[in-house]
């Protein structure tokens, strides 16, 4: 692990201003910071609102530094623009029009820094009938059709925490856009605005499924398809101790190994006989309930049967594969996922604990040459 605060990663030297918010914007900034970018989070007095968490445990703010600026006070906007002038990227997650009212909209910032990549993170996007309304992950993934695919055929759609919309369809698409626009600007182009909407990103994630549906290989009904739990050899099964095993031997050779190790070769109906899938599911379920999760893990552990134990968040770091790769690490007394992906020449690292609001003004003022942070900053 690199020393506390030491720059490392492929984005070392890239400067990012993050206007404090909650959810996907901060996570996107964390990804950039994990990859070595110098992220300065502009917190405001009273916090960003929304879900409260002790700043010491807010991992979305790891590897960042924080300054405290009152954007509604006289001079507050000017201090932020001083940072913008020296930045490569800005990230904001306000409702459409709010940044403009603060004097920090794209026109204001690009006038100060024409090479700036201005990232906007919203749920609904910058235009449309819902653009200015409130929303959360569950609503965004609902209207894109993604939520409709998750859950049993005879039950309601199941919310996949907020991983699918906020972070996959939101944060990661913003990161893709920011890096693409940064490449453009550094290759001689101008700065520009990256409009990342969770509805757009989540819809984009369903591209392959739309293709399968158009080809007749996917039914627009959850729990009835190959990859949504409708298939008996792609799903989860309870074990004798109340645990679960995840099963996914889609390929025939893997399936053959699966039923052999499970011990149901003589009981299992033909896998390609769709009319017998209910009987096959029952045979698999009955067999899994005969042993504990730990016992089944031992049976399938070194096989190609594509079976894995369903681990909890607390259990995951101890899994042998994840432990061997150091997929999780401990920093500041918190077990947390390590930066991803990995780079052979410029590895990322967790360099700093989550930033406490306003704790780094002097340091940022020195490193960025923004004396207004400590000279009359209305924080």
Backbone angles phi, psi at 15, to 5 degrees: -105, 135
Query: Which one from 38, 43, 58, 166 is the annotated catalytic residue?
Result: 166
Residue with tokens 């070392």: 12
Query: Which one from 56, 70, 136, 184 is the annotated catalytic residue?
Result: 136
CA angle (64, 66, 71) in 5-degree steps:
135
136 counts as catalytic:
yes
Cis peptide before 225 (omega within 30 of 0): no
The secondary structure element, H or E, covering residue 339 is none
Q: How far apart are CA 78 and CA 168, in angstroms?
A: 34
| Buried b / exposed e along 352-374 (16+ C-beta atoms within 10 A) | bbbbbbbebbeebbeebebebbe
3-state SS of 104-145? CCHHHHHHHCCCCEEEEEECCCCCCCCCCCCCCHHHHHHHCC
Just list the catalytic residues.
Answer: 136, 166
């Amino acid at each position: 692990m690199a020393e506390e605060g030491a720059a490392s990663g492929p984005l070392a030297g890239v400067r990012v201003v993050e206007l404090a918010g909650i959810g996907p914007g901060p996570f996107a900034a964390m990804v950039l910071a994990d990859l070595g970018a110098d992220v300065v989070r502009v917190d405001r007095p009273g916090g960003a609102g929304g879900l409260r968490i002790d700043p010491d445990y807010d991992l979305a703010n790891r590897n960042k530094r924080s300054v405290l600026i009152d954007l509604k006070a006289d001079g507050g906007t000017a201090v932020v623009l001083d940072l913008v002038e020296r930045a490569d990227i800005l990230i904001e997650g306000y409702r459409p029009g709010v940044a403009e009212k603060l004097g920090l909209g794209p026109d204001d910032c690009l006038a100060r820094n024409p090479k700036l990549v201005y990232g906007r993170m919203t749920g609904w996007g910058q235009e449309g009938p819902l653009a200015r309304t409130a929303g959360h992950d569950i609503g965004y993934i609902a209207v894109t059709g993604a939520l409709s695919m998750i859950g049993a055929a005879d039950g309601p759609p199941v919310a996949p925490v907020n991983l699918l919309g906020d972070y996959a369809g939101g944060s990661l698409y913003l990161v893709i856009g920011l890096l693409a626009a940064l490449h453009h600007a550094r290759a001689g182009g101008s700065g520009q605005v990256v409009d990342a909407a969770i509805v757009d990103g989540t819809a984009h994630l369903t591209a392959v499924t739309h293709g399968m549906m158009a080809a007749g290989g996917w039914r627009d009904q959850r729990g009835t398809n190959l990859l949504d739990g409708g298939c008996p050899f792609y799903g989860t099964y309870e074990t004798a101790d109340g645990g679960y095993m995840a099963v996914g031997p889609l390929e025939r050779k893997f399936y053959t190994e699966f039923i052999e190790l499970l011990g149901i070769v003589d009981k299992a109906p033909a896998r390609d006989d769709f009319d017998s899938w209910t009987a096959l599911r029952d045979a698999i379920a009955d067999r899994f309930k005969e042993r504990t999760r730990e016992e089944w893990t031992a049976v399938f552990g070194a096989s190609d049967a594509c079976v894995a134990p369903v681990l909890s968040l607390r259990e995951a770091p101890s899994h042998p594969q994840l432990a061997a790769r150091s997929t999780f690490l401990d920093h500041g007394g918190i077990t947390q996922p390590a930066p991803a992906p990995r780079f052979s020449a410029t590895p990322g690292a967790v360099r700093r604990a989550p930033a406490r609001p306003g704790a780094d003004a002097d340091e940022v003022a020195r490193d960025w040459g923004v004396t207004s942070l400590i000279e009359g900053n209305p924080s």
